[in-house]
Amino acid sequence: MDNLITILIVEDHELTRLALKKLLSRFNNLIVIGEAENGLEALEFCQKQIPQVILMDVSMPKMDGIQATIAITKLYKRIKIIMLTQYDSDRDIMASLTAGASGYCLKDISGDRLLTAITSVFNGDIWFDARIAEKILNHYVNNTSQFLQNNYNSNYLNNLETLIIEPLSFREKEVLTLIVDGLSNQEIAHKLFISLSTVKSHVRNILNKLSCDDRTQAAVQAMRSGLL
């Protein structure tokens, strides 16, 4: 089937690998083509066969998920990596993003949400569990606030609140609200009964109007400026 998404599971616990394989087998468009117990085995697997999406544990022996993600994304640009772990520490989250991961999920994620995460990153989006997205937003807001306080005077900060932003349309505000809620493009399309391409067009317009580079920045901008 042309629409199959090939998956590599990288997890050092055998029972967890088996559970993931059973879970993913429920979906006709996903196929697990390999398993690895650590980052080194994952790297070796990719040298023989290229998966489209990797579900990567963070804590593993020999080579952990962060190190493996750095190595794999450097060598294989087309592979998308989702960190799948039981931990939600700020350090692991930010390290994973810096390493090049396209998603970060906790292991208690439901099967349907995991399917959404996989299809989202496969289609080029970034996907986070809602709890993870909140941590990232808090981290971004705190760092931005501290940067501004350290580098600009109070008059400049006050003027930030009065910056003129090109108005968003009603639909763009709807999309932005759902972005802030942590929904992926596919989930937004489903919720608003519009096509995925239409959602992507709205997201591009939102980023342009808010002068933001990505969805996270747009969400922060929306909250800070009272757009929603």
As a whole number of angstroms, the distance between CA 57 and CA 54 comes to: 10
The predicted pLDDT at position 160 comes to 43
CATH number of 133-225: 1.10.10.10
> What HEC string does the chain produce?
CCCCEEEEEECCCHHHHHHHHHHHCCCCCEEEEEEECCHHHHHHHHHHCCCCEEEECCCCCCCCHHHHHHHHHHHCCCCEEEEEECCCCHHHHHHHHHHCCCEEEECCCCHHHHHHHHHHHHCCCCEECHHHHHHHHHHHHHHHHHHHHHHCCHHHHHHHCCCCCCCCCHHHHHHHHHHHCCCCHHHHHHHHCCCHHHHHHHHHHHHHHHCCCCHHHHHHHHHHHCCC
The predicted pLDDT at position 159 comes to 47
The predicted pLDDT at position 163 comes to 43
180: number of CA atoms within 13 Å, CB side? 17
For domain 5-128, which CATH number applies: 3.40.50.2300, 3.30.1340.10, 1.10.645.10, 1.10.10.10?
3.40.50.2300
Look at residue 149 and tell me whether its pLDDT is greater than 80: no
Higher pLDDT pick, 111 / 228 = 111
Same-fold call for 5-128 versus 133-225: no
Question: What is the average pLDDT score of the chain?
Answer: 83
How far apart, in Å, do the first and last CA atoms of the chain sit?
42
- Are 128 and 103 in contact, with CB atoms under 8 Å apart? yes
The predicted pLDDT at position 197 comes to 92
The domain ranges of the chain are 5-128, 133-225
Look at residue 164 and tell me whether its pLDDT is greater than 60: no
pTM: 0.64
As a whole number of angstroms, the distance between CA 135 and CA 127 comes to: 13
Give percent of the chain with pLDDT exceeding 90: 46
As a whole number of angstroms, the distance between CA 186 and CA 194 comes to: 10
